[in-house]
Homo-oligomer: A and B are copies of this chain.
């Protein structure tokens, strides 16, 4: 029997998924295994794969099949309809950015990234500025083309890549709510914490022991090691594909917590990927719902669960056993205080849960202005420092700890930053509903039982994959539209009670 246009599309996208999976594995290998001198060879392999993937999406054959499938859409099931929508979305994104622009952006961002690394080391923004200008100009072109194709404002079109279904206006509203409350909250939290000092945790913790701890915690969380691995890389990340997930972290022998928290963060991503419906694997609708939703899963596990009091009760004996340590500094209460210290600082990736959104809001405000040409690239350092002063009361003493600290703009990832803070907000909202549905969650966590937690997430988030947009997914899971209210209630309770 001949395949329907829709079925033929499923074949094409399964092939696309396989090629993208191959690329993902090559990226993982480049970060974890590859010899340093092989970067050029790998670059050619990845470029060839990207070209294939882009070409596959924009073939006249796929366009024709999409039209014919749309014309016969009345016979499709809801998930098939959602799949068709995601297929079209993928093609829209690919068609809107012509190969020539993609190539120019690839070259410009490769140059800019290299110059950014040097400029950051020397804290020399001027050396980086012309390269950033080039990336900004090309990104603006991309945003305009993408916006026209998707019927969205240019910046919204960029956001659509990372937080599908969310707009700049909605993000503005959420960030405004955070901006109103956070400064006061931070002040009070710091004051409250200074009244209860934390015992310092010193010592040396070998990478082997930390790895043993990480593996034990991941096993308890339910990470399936027959379909995934844990390795080390300079920056922790989650790569691979559902069915072969590669988690990485980085161990600091002088501090066992960054490595473990990195593992929790990445395991949050991984469990999302593992929880995606197997029946839809390889199809666009079977993927995760973008970066913001991904970040909600990693932050829920790292920040909300992984730094909670009950989790500390689970963790304490495990750490004592594996590291052979004991004493008052290893008590659950002290671990809790140690991992939830609030402190204003310059660096986003070192920021605590409470000050973190302010770092994001600064970047959001600046990248909007840069794309709208209201802020010139040359004026970014001044605007950055003024924003830091206004939001956190700190002025960076160098651009290295200021506007040169992140790689995102150098590689053209405008519209990405908001997803970090949106992820935190979503985590807060999901967590509130999860707690309502599972009143004994704390007891489960303290006993190292995580089936209830992940069962709820699979049912309400993971299992829905990309069948609905980001806002609908949050509303379905929590019964409420996405807002900052739940997260603000969560941090108020956590830091002020």
Binds B, one of A18-26, A260-268, A437-445: A18-26
Q: Among B18, B25, B41, which residue has its beta carbon within 8 angstroms of that of A29? A: B25
Note all chain B residues with C-beta closer than 8 A to A282.
44
**Whole-angstrom distance between the Cβ of A435 and the nearest chain B Cβ:** 33
Q: Among B14, B15, B37, B47, which residue has its beta carbon within 8 angstroms of that of A18? A: B47
Cα–Cα distance between A33 and B224 once the two chains are bound (Å)? 15
Cα–Cα distance between A315 and B308 once the two chains are bound (Å)? 57
Q: Is the CB–CB distance between A226 and B44 below 8 Å?
A: no
Q: Is the CB–CB distance between B244 and A15 below 8 Å?
A: no
Q: Which of A14-64 contact B (CB under 8 A)?
A: 14-15, 18-19, 21-23, 25-26, 29, 33-38, 40-42, 44-45, 47-49, 51-52
Cα–Cα distance between A228 and B29 once the two chains are bound (Å)? 13
Q: Quickly give the copy total for this chain.
A: 2
Taking the complex as formed, is A450 at the interface, i.e. its CB lies under 8 A from any CB of chain B? no
- Bitwise interface map of A from 223 to 242 toward B, beta carbon under 8 Å scored 1, else 0: 01111110000000000011
Cα–Cα distance between A42 and B224 once the two chains are bound (Å)? 17
Taking the complex as formed, is A452 at the interface, i.e. its CB lies under 8 A from any CB of chain B? no
**Whole-angstrom distance between the Cβ of A282 and the nearest chain B Cβ:** 7
Q: Is the CB–CB distance between B226 and A41 below 8 Å?
A: no
Cα–Cα distance between A25 and B41 once the two chains are bound (Å)? 11
Q: Is the CB–CB distance between B35 and A48 below 8 Å?
A: no
Taking the complex as formed, is A243 at the interface, i.e. its CB lies under 8 A from any CB of chain B? yes
Note all chain B residues with C-beta closer than 8 A to A26.
22, 25
Count chain B CB atoms within 10 A of each CB in A35, A36, A227 and give the residue with the most.
Answer: A35
Note all chain B residues with C-beta closer than 8 A to A52.
19, 52
Cα–Cα distance between A287 and B159 once the two chains are bound (Å)? 45
**Whole-angstrom distance between the Cβ of A113 and the nearest chain B Cβ:** 21
Cα–Cα distance between A33 and B29 once the two chains are bound (Å)? 10
Q: Is the CB–CB distance between B19 and A48 below 8 Å?
A: yes
Count chain B CB atoms within 10 A of each CB in A29, A225, A227, A244 and give the residue with the most.
Answer: A244
Q: Is the CB–CB distance between B33 and A226 below 8 Å?
A: no
Note all chain B residues with C-beta closer than 8 A to A225.
35
Q: Among B41, B44, B45, B244, which residue has its beta carbon within 8 angstroms of that of A41? A: B244
Q: Is the CB–CB distance between B244 and A34 below 8 Å?
A: yes
Q: Is the CB–CB distance between A48 and B226 below 8 Å?
A: no
Task: Closest B residue to A47 by CB, please name it.
Answer: B18
Task: Say yes or no: A45-B33 contact (C-beta < 8 A), given A15-B51, A51-B15, A243-B38.
Answer: no
Note all chain B residues with C-beta closer than 8 A to A226.
35-38
Q: Is the CB–CB distance between B22 and A243 below 8 Å?
A: no
Q: Is the CB–CB distance between A224 and B37 below 8 Å?
A: yes
Q: Which of A429-460 contact B (CB under 8 A)?
A: none
Cα–Cα distance between A243 and B39 once the two chains are bound (Å)? 9
Task: Closest B residue to A282 by CB, please name it.
Answer: B44
Cα–Cα distance between A283 and B72 once the two chains are bound (Å)? 46
Task: Closest B residue to A241 by CB, please name it.
Answer: B41
Task: Say yes or no: A35-B229 contact (C-beta < 8 A), given A22-B22, A44-B14.
Answer: yes
Cα–Cα distance between A49 and B48 once the two chains are bound (Å)? 11
Task: Say yes or no: A49-B22 contact (C-beta < 8 A), given A14-B44, A38-B227, A44-B282.
Answer: yes
**Whole-angstrom distance between the Cβ of A364 and the nearest chain B Cβ:** 36
Note all chain B residues with C-beta closer than 8 A to A15.
48, 51
Count chain B CB atoms within 10 A of each CB in A18, A29, A224, A242 and give the residue with the most.
Answer: A18
Top-8 shortest CB links A-B: A18-B48, A38-B244, A37-B226, A41-B243, A37-B227, A22-B45, A18-B44, A18-B45
Give 28 pairs: A residue, B residue, CB < 8 Å, sorted on A.
A15-B48, A18-B44, A18-B47, A18-B48, A19-B48, A19-B52, A21-B44, A22-B22, A22-B26, A22-B49, A25-B25, A25-B45, A29-B29, A34-B244, A35-B225, A35-B226, A35-B228, A35-B229, A35-B244, A36-B226, A37-B224, A37-B243, A38-B226, A38-B228, A38-B243, A40-B243, A42-B244, A52-B52
Known: A14-B44, A35-B228. 16 other contacts (CB 8 A): A15-B51, A19-B49, A19-B52, A21-B45, A22-B45, A22-B48, A25-B25, A25-B45, A35-B244, A37-B227, A37-B243, A38-B226, A38-B227, A38-B228, A40-B243, A44-B282
